[in-house]
Amino acid sequence: MTRPLRVLILGGTTEARRLAERLAPRSDLDVRLSLAGRTSNPVPHPVPLRVGGFGGAEGLAQYMKDERIDRLIDATHPYAAQMSANAAHAAARADVPLLALRRPAWRPVAGDRWREVADAQAAARALGDAPRRVFLALGRNEIAPFAGAPQHFYLVRSVDPVEPPLAVPHAVYIRARGPFREEDDRALLAGHEIDVVVAKNSGGPAAYGKIAAARALGLPVILLQRPVLPQTAVMADARGSYVLVVNSSVPAKNVPELIALLRANPGKYSFSSSGSGASSHLASVLFNSMANVSAVHVPYKGSSPSVTDLVSGQVAYTIETVPSIISFVKSGRLRALAVSTAKRSAAMPELGTIADDLPGYEMSGWIGLMAPAGMPNELRARLSAETRKILQDPDIRSRFIALGLDPAGNTPEEYTEFLKRQNDRYASIVKQAGLKLD
């Protein structure tokens, strides 16, 4: 007799519990569920439980080997990004197929007054200086940053007691476990005269009561952004050059002349980008730092307004994608000096590279194909091979080139390595330049 398929569910969510309930009666499955151990008294589950961390991805991979797990299901909370990343790595390492249950985020509807922030620290800052009455619907491990904003009153709701309590003079603690109904949350918010709600975008119905209640009462909601969950690289489809362009009134005719001009006039000229931290910004930051020049950064909301102001002479130069500048270069309103890639670009083959004058300079935009983590290897290989075949088609290639993109077409392994190098590269530029998100 074949033994039942052993399934490990990474839980901590209603979905994980429901899934366990559905699978528990099946005699062909041997299901167990894992909890982080965040709450001291978890709700009962219909399958055997194990509680506590595994010791990173390595630990989970080892656990799955030791326990002969056949399938892994990641049904963790949308904010449990570490666990989801570990699950993807461990599944690949132990060669165990992985399935992820992802809970969709809430979307704003008419009447919602949402503001998204990066994390709890940013949420504490977003409350402002003036004292407010805040409903904190965050995990007890996430509320520490609010001690830095003691001028506010906090109503804190958590499953387990917050210990030690927040070091602020005005806080009230409520212990409760969802689901929470809209009318109850409305009464709670009104009763404590709350004027702002801070929460995670957990999705699902159980925690939506406060969101609906805030809308009904016209209250603003500060939402912590969802973390990025792992995906699997399939391949890089195409690499796009950026182009260093100047307004046609700028006297520099080539890269050395632009560098000389900027060096002779530190801080006098300005450059635009499609936004603070956008790749066009990072491309210019790298150029300025390697050329040892200083100029004023003017961030815009997108490439179009950035290039429009470059054309009208509000700023002197930028480094932008081929499609966004090419018509202005052709009409003579912008002068293209060089491309950002290590090699010349098929889209503008007449241009040399910035690296010709600044050896080692390289920036490229790229478009890649990603798949959900846990896609079976055979399927990923097939998708990758078929996409590579399509990219060899002369008609498709010429369309990519017309868009300023050089079709690359590498393997999943090469693409994974490429993404890692890109990540390291951008991280070092951001660190070197001391860039911060606004």
Question: Could you list the residues that contact ligand NAP (CB under 6 A)?
Answer: 10-13, 34-36, 38, 53-56, 59-60, 76-77, 79-83, 86, 139, 142, 200
Residue 141 CB, shortest distance to ligand NAP, in Å, is 7
Residue 59 CB, shortest distance to ligand NAP, in Å, is 6
Query: ∠44-46-49 over CA atoms, to 5°?
Result: 70
- Residue 1 or 228 with smaller CB distance to ligand NAP: 228
- Residue 2 or 41 with smaller CB distance to ligand NAP: 41
Report the half-sphere exposure of 74 (CA within 13 A, side-chain side). 31
Residue 191 CB, shortest distance to ligand NAP, in Å, is 25
- Residue 12 or 409 with smaller CB distance to ligand NAP: 12
Strands 220-224, 196-200: parallel, antiparallel or unpaired by DSSP?
Answer: parallel
Residue 82 CB, shortest distance to ligand NAP, in Å, is 3
- Residue 174 or 190 with smaller CB distance to ligand NAP: 174
- Residue 13 or 324 with smaller CB distance to ligand NAP: 13
Residue 160 CB, shortest distance to ligand NAP, in Å, is 11
The residue at minimum Cβ distance from ligand NAP is: 12
Could you please report the per-residue DSSP string of 222-259? Answer: EEEPPPPPPEEEEEEEEEEEEEEEEETTS---SHHHHH
The token pair at 43 is 């709700």
- Residue 87 or 315 with smaller CB distance to ligand NAP: 87
CB–CB of 54/37 below 8 Å? no
CB–CB of 73/7 below 8 Å? yes
Q: What region does 398 belong to: left with phi over 0, alpha with psi -120 to 50, or beta?
A: alpha
Residue 379 CB, shortest distance to ligand NAP, in Å, is 26
Is residue 378 helix, strand or coil? helix
Residue 136 CB, shortest distance to ligand NAP, in Å, is 12
Helix axes 412-433, 377-392, angle to 10 degrees: 80
Considering only CA atoms, which of 238, 241, 240 is closest in space to residue 388?
238
Rg (CA), the chain: 27
Residue 414 CB, shortest distance to ligand NAP, in Å, is 29
- Residue 102 or 425 with smaller CB distance to ligand NAP: 102
Alpha helix stretches (DSSP H) within 95-239: 120-126, 182-191, 209-217
Residue 164 CB, shortest distance to ligand NAP, in Å, is 18
Considering only CA atoms, which of 293, 239, 253 is closest in space to residue 271?
293
- Residue 76 or 232 with smaller CB distance to ligand NAP: 76
- Residue 117 or 346 with smaller CB distance to ligand NAP: 117
Burial of 404 (0-12, 13-18, 19+ CB in 10 A): buried
User: Which residues are 235's β-sheet partners?
Assistant: 369
- Residue 87 or 238 with smaller CB distance to ligand NAP: 87
- Residue 17 or 380 with smaller CB distance to ligand NAP: 17
Number of H helices, E strands in the chain: 13, 18
Burial of 403 (0-12, 13-18, 19+ CB in 10 A): middle
DSSP 432: H
**CA 246 to chain centroid:** 32
Amino acid residing at 345: S
Q: What span, in angstroms and rounded, lies between the C-alpha atoms of 169 and 154?
A: 9
The token pair at 159 is 């499953």
Residue 214 CB, shortest distance to ligand NAP, in Å, is 19
Residue 212 CB, shortest distance to ligand NAP, in Å, is 20
